[in-house]
Amino acid sequence: MVAAGSKEAIASLVASPPAGSRVVALQVAGAFHTSFMEPARPALKEFATDLSVKDPAISIWSNSNGQLVESGSAFLELMVNQVSNPVRWDKTMESMTSANVSLMIELLPGGALSGIAKRAMPNTVAIALKTPADLDKVAEAIGK
């Protein structure tokens, strides 16, 4: 389970976690995927209206519902809305496991999702691409 909220709410969770669980702080870049980002969504939506998109040439999995995204316009809409909505990484991992995904590359800082995937998807290689140096790991994983 991943929880997000105000500092006070998270402190309360840390002080009294659910039975049988442990609380680990994830290193994230901001309050993304929470209602704290809702004020940014309208500006992002307006910005997105000027973008020209094409349908994806590679598999892209939505982190909001765990499904493959086959339309560029649907992807753009999901990107705008996901900034202030929860990530359903559990659904994404379930879908990728069902589809026998063997390699996952996480883009952008943090690496939190690939860390979770390494534990939950033992048959999938998960790489967090955080720096240019990580490109060697990706090249090796794809056999290039």
CA pair distance 60, 74, nearest whole angstrom: 11
133, part of any domain: yes
**Residue 10 belongs to what H/E stretch?**
helix 7-15
Q: Round the CA-based radius of gyration of the chain to a whole number and report it.
A: 17
Of 119, 95, 116, give the one whose Cα is nearest residue 106.
116
Residue 127 inside a domain? The answer is yes
Sort strands 125-129 and 103-107 into parallel, antiparallel or unpaired.
parallel
Domain span holding position 127: 102-144
What is the number of helices (H) and of strands (E) in the chain? Answer: 6, 2
101 close to 117: Cβ distance less than 8 angstroms = no
- pLDDT at residue 144, rounded to an integer: 67
- Helical ranges in 31-126 per DSSP H: 41-48, 72-82, 89-98, 112-120
Query: Is residue 118 domain-resident?
Result: yes
Assigned domain for 130 exists: yes
Whether 92 maps to a domain, the answer reads: no
- Is residue 123 in a domain? yes
Q: Does pTM top 0.75 for this prediction?
A: no
Which stretches does DSSP call E strand in the chain?
103-107, 125-129
Q: Among 84, 74, 91, which residue's Cα sits nearest to residue 44?
A: 84
1 is written with which tokens? 């389970």
Q: pLDDT digit of tens for each residue in the chain (144 aa)?
A: 778 888 888 889 989 999 988 888 777 777 888 899 999 999 999 999 999 999 999 888 898 899 999 999 999 999 999 999 998 989 999 999 999 999 988 887 678 888 889 999 999 999 999 888 889 989 998 886
Q: Establish if 143 belongs to a structural domain.
A: yes
Give a yes or no: residue 109 inside a domain: yes
Domain count, the chain: 1
CA 6 remoteness from chain centre: 20
